[in-house]
């Protein structure tokens, strides 16, 4: 009788808590590698930790400094980041969608080949930046672009593209767009391919007369979730881009901060100026910005129900 009782207790407990057991591995990892660091960063952002010692509690002073005293942050970094994000985020996103749609119109073999080709840049971009683009935009006569322009008589003296305050940002945007056909693109492609063909036929009967209407009334509503995923990835990626400007120009900060984004600035403040507390505050600001844009993506593409 008692034994039976015990069994039922165990079963009852098992029934009500088993999902926790299942969740445990993920929870532990999430706690250790995501939640804890974020909490630590938030905690540090209220101090003046200089990577050696913590002198005093600063309350919100770090945040106030970011928006009132840090001229570089407000004049250069934030505008750079927003410009970059506004063009590369939606731009890359649109490009991904258009490319995915065009590819979906092809037959299987060329589609697969082209998909791989388009996807490739996002995989190799780290290496490619230093090999392909640094050579293309090299600042002496041997750089590809300089050589071509000199040959065509457009310029007479080589332009130092990657150290120039005028050209660095456009080049960064160009390279980012080139490598933007990433995982979001793949998910949209699979989404489009999985749309039920019968819907298009039904649409045709219902009076759809061209491809644009097909895309707007059938394709997009069908792949909402993939588009949401793509949008989230695009937002997160653009704000978290670190290496591009630094890899292209050769140093952090980039010349006159022309290509410095917020993550570069955090790096600069934390590891070059030893102001970990302030760097932590800036990363919290970054976290908030990314969060806001994610909310926006959900508003646009999330399920309304």
Partner 1 sequence: MSVLLVLALIITQLGIFTATAGSEGRNSSEGSSDSISCVEKAKNAQYWITLDDSDIICTAGSDDMQINGNAPECQMDAAFVGAGESVLVSVNVPSAGDYAIVLVYQTIGNIIVQSSIGVNAGNRQIKSYINGVWCDESKDYLLDRYNNEVTPSQEKVDVFVKDYVRDCTTLDFEPVSFTLSAGEQVITIENNDQDIYLQSVLLTKVPQIVDYRTYSASFDGSTSSQPIIIEGEDYLAKSDSYVRTKADINPSCYPYSSFQKLLNAVDYYSWKTAGQRVVWQFEARETGWYHIAFHYTQSQKEGQAVYRNIEIDGKCLFREMNEVGFDYTGSDFANKILTVDGQPAKIYLAEGVHTISLFTSVPSVAQVIGKINTIRNELSEIGLDLQQVAGANADPNRTWDIETYIPGITDHLRDLQKRLLEVFDELSAMSGSSAASCANLKQAAGIIGESLKRPDKLPTYVNQLSVGSGSATDMLAQLVNSINEQGMSLDRIYLYGDNYDLPNGQAGFWKSLWHGIQRFIHSLMNREGAYGVSSAGANEKNAITVWVNRPISYVETLQVMTDSTFTPKTGIKVYFSVMPDEGKLLLANASDTCPDVALGVTGDRPYQLGARGAAYDLTAFDDFSDYIYENFETYDLEPFVYDGSIYGIPETKNFYVLMYRTDIMDKLELDIPNTWEDVANMMPVLRRSGMTFYMPLSSATGTKPLATIAPFFLQNGADLYSKDGMSTALNSENGIAAFKRLTDLYTLYSVQNNAPSFYNNFRYGVMPIGVAGFSSYVEMIYAAPEIAGKWAIAPAPGTLQPDGTINRQQVSVDRSDLIMKSTTKPDQSWEFMKWWMSEETQVEFAYTLQTKYGSEYVWNSANKHAFNQMSFPKSDRDVIMEQWQESANYRTMPATYMLERELSNAWYNVVNNHISPRTALNEAVFTINQETAIRMQQFGYIDEDGNVIKKYDMRSAAEILEEVKNR
Q: Which of residues 219-248 bind partner 1 (CB under 8 A)?
A: 246
Q: Can you read off the two tokens belonging to residue 241?
A: 């881009």
Rounded Cα gap, residues 270 and 252, in angstroms: 12
Residue from 58, 99, 129, 162 that binds partner 1 (CB under 8 A)? 162
187-198: burial string, b at 16+ Cβ within 10 Å, e else: bbbebbeebeee
Rounded Cα gap, residues 97 and 81, in angstroms: 23
Instruction: Using the Cα atoms of residue 64, residue 258, residue 84 and residue 272 in order, give the sign of their dihedral.
Output: negative
Rg (CA), the chain: 25
Q: Which of residues 24-53 bind partner 1 (CB under 8 A)?
A: 48, 50-53
Residue from 37, 79, 250, 302 that binds partner 1 (CB under 8 A)? 250
The residue (of 48 and 222) whose beta carbon lies closer to partner 1 is: 48
Q: Can you read off the two tokens belonging to residue 275?
A: 């102001």
47: three-class secondary structure by DSSP: strand
Residue from 13, 120, 256, 300 that binds partner 1 (CB under 8 A)? 256
The residue (of 211 and 273) whose beta carbon lies closer to partner 1 is: 273
CB of 29 to partner 1, least distance (A): 21
Binding mask 119-148 for partner 1 (x = CB under 8 A): -------------------xxxxx------
Report DSSP state, residue 287.
H
Binding mask 163-182 for partner 1 (x = CB under 8 A): xxxx----------------
Q: Which one of the spans 188-196, 226-234, 249-257, 288-296 is the region binding partner 1 (CB under 8 A)? A: 249-257
Tell whether residue 15 is a contact of partner 1 (CB under 8 A).
no
252: three-class secondary structure by DSSP: coil
Binding mask 261-290 for partner 1 (x = CB under 8 A): ----------xxxx----------------
Neighbouring residues of 104: CB distance < 8 A, sequence distance ≥ 6? 111, 189, 192, 193
Residue 260 near residue 254, CB atoms below 8 Å: yes
Rounded Cα gap, residues 266 and 263, in angstroms: 5
Tell whether residue 255 is a contact of partner 1 (CB under 8 A).
yes
Binding mask 57-86 for partner 1 (x = CB under 8 A): --------------x---------------
Which residues contact partner 1 by CB under 8 A? 48, 50-53, 71, 138-142, 150-151, 157-158, 160, 162-166, 246, 249-256, 271-274
């Amino acid at each position: 009788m008692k034994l039976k009782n015990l069994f039922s207790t165990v079963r009852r407990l098992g029934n009500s808590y088993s999902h926790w057991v299942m969740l445990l591995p993920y929870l532990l990892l999430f706690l250790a590698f995501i939640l804890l660091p974020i909490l630590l960063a938030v905690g540090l952002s209220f101090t003046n930790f200089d990577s050696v010692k913590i002198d005093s509690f600063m309350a919100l002073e770090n945040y106030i400094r970011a928006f009132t005293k840090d001229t570089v942050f407000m004049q250069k970094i934030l505008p750079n980041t927003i410009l970059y994000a506004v063009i590369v985020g939606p731009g890359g996103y649109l490009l991904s969608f258009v490319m995915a749609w065009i590819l979906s119109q092809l037959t299987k073999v060329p589609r697969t080949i082209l998909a791989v080709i388009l996807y490739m840049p996002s995989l190799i971009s780290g290496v490619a930046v230093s090999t392909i683009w640094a050579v293309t935009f090299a600042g002496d006569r041997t750089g590809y672009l300089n050589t071509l322009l000199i040959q065509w008589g457009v310029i007479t003296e080589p332009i130092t593209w990657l150290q120039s305050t005028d050209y660095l940002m456009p080049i960064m945007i160009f390279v980012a767009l080139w490598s933007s056909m990433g995982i979001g693109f793949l998910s949209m492609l699979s989404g489009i391919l999985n749309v039920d063909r019968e819907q298009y036929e039904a649409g045709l009967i219902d009076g759809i007369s061209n491809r644009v209407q097909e895309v707007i009334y059938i394709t997009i509503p069908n792949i909402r979730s993939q588009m949401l995923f793509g949008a989230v990835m695009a937002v997160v990626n653009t704000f978290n881009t670190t290496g591009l400007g630094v890899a292209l120009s050769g140093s952090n900060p980039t010349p006159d901060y022309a290509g410095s984004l917020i993550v570069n600035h955090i790096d600069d403040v934390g590891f070059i100026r030893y102001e970990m507390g302030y760097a932590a505050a800036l990363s919290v600001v970054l976290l908030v910005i990314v969060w806001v844009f994610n909310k926006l993506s959900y508003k646009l593409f999330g399920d309304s129900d």
